[in-house]
Every structure is written in C-alpha cells, then in structure tokens.
Amino acid sequence: MRIRPAPAGTGIVFRRVDLDGFEVEAVGRNLARVSYATSLQKKGVLISTTEHLLSACIGIGLDNAIVELNNLEVPILDGSAKPFIDLILQAGLRQQRKKRSFLRILREVEVREGNKFIAAYPASGYAVQYKINFAEPIGEQSFGIDLSRDLYRQELAAARTFGFLCEEKTMRNMGLIRGASEENVIVVTDTGVKNGPLRYEDEFVRHKVLDLIGDLALLGRQVIGRIVADRAGHAMHTALVSRLLRDKSLWEETTDVDKSSQRSERLSMAEPVIGQA
C-alpha cells in the first residue's frame, strides 16, 4: 500500500495499481457487500476492508489522498487504525487552501432492525455514543467520544478488531478473515481473551466506534452531528450512510462551522507526502 497526496476536493480515492490504475472513490454510491467488513465496488473492481484506514483519515483530519493498492484488500496491519495514523503522520500533513466541507445533520434520522439501532441527531460538533451487548466474556459495554476535541488518537486509534474463536472455522469456510491471526485480531474464547492483554479495558466497544467513524466517512465529508448506536454493525452503519445520502433534506453541506467545536484549521483539507506500508 502507498498513500499519495491529492488535490483539494479529491476526497479519499483507492487506486488499483494492478488493474491499470483503476480508481474507486470512498463514497456511499460505491458501497458493495457489507458483512464482517466494509467493501467498495465500482464497475466490478472491489476494494475490501476499508473501515480502519478511512477511520484513521477522519481521526487525523486527512481529507484528500490517493491510496494505491496492488490487490483488493486494504492491509489489516495490527487490526486497529494506529499503524495507518503513524504512517501518515510520519510522511507529514500539509494544509490546503480550500476550506473543509462538512455534512451538518439538520433533522434526526433513525435506523432500526429488531433490537439494533443507529441514529444521527443535530449537534454543534461531531460526537459518537456506542453500546454493545455480546455474550460473556465481553458482555455489555458503552463508550462515547467527542471527536471535535481531537481525542481520536488517544482514545480510539489503537483499539483492535476482535473475533470469536468458535466462529473461526465457519468464517474461513466462507472465504472471510483470510488475513486474520493472533497478531491482528483479539481472539475471544468462552473463558476470556486468548491473546491479551487488552489495550483498553473496554477495547471491544472502542473498536466498534472506530469502525463506525470509518463507515460514516463514506458520506464524503466530515460530520457535524451526534451519532448514537446500540448493537449496530457495518450493515447498519452503512444503512445510515445510504439513508442520509438518499434524503438531502436531513443535512446540509457547509464550510461555516463553530471553530470552538471543531479541530484546528491547521489540518483542514490536509494531505500527506508519499508513504508506504
């Protein structure tokens, strides 16, 4: 994977260098199948497992970049967003002249499926509240974060993806989790975590927040609003994206924001120099 600078207004674009440089924009209209990870597809060209990298981009304010890949899958690295952030910041960010465009939620919108729930509400900044409820040993966890306060790197970036050992064989038979190992996934057994220690006491729900931020990046703009989720997942995250993009009365595009409730203009429309991983 190589991440290259891009002009203002480009957004995040995946480029398949193994397919003559075919480009797939990280936007909702290119959403493909969503199961245990989020995938994009354009004219039959697939990009899978996009959520951790896109979450990292939102977390550090990177608006424009070309992500070059030589296969269909974004590397999982250690299962969190931290290696992507380290890579990008090592290469450097550069402010661009064009103002950042935000998607401001104007009216509440809710998506429900049984006991699962996700919603977006008007707010002055970008905040996320998430609740999960799994069988033991995970149980019920909740976590909230105000992304307007630049807390992403400290509170979320290192939270890793997780999976249940009892589901491993079934998922591999389905062609999923091909790159998964104890080096990049928290493995949960009936009695506890097989490959601890955890990086946060509530690392499971923090990773769900990380995933949600990456999936909402497919709106193509940073959000001004409060997102609440209860036992949601990639399918519901992206259902909210699709719902918002279908109904433009629910939001407005704006460059006029309360600077006290948003991150510094220093990283507005930022871009990295060339980096590799």
Instruction: Give the catalytic positions in this structure.
Output: 234
Long-range CB contacts for residues 109-112, cutoff 8 Å, separation at least 24: 109/240, 109/243, 109/244, 109/247, 109/250, 111/236, 111/239, 111/240, 111/243
Structure token digits, residue 95 = 């402010």
Helices (H), the chain: 51-60, 82-91, 152-155, 168-173, 203-216, 234-246
Which residues share a beta bridge with 40? 31, 47
The continuous run of DSSP H or E covering 126 comes out as: strand 126-133
Structure token digits, residue 159 = 């939270």
Is the Cβ–Cβ distance between 262 and 123 less than 8 Å? no
87-101 core/surface letters (b: 16 or more CB in 10 A; e: else)? bbeebebeebeeebb
DSSP string, 76-124: -TTSSSHHHHHHHHHH-EE--SSPPPEEEE-S-EEEEETTEEEEEE--S
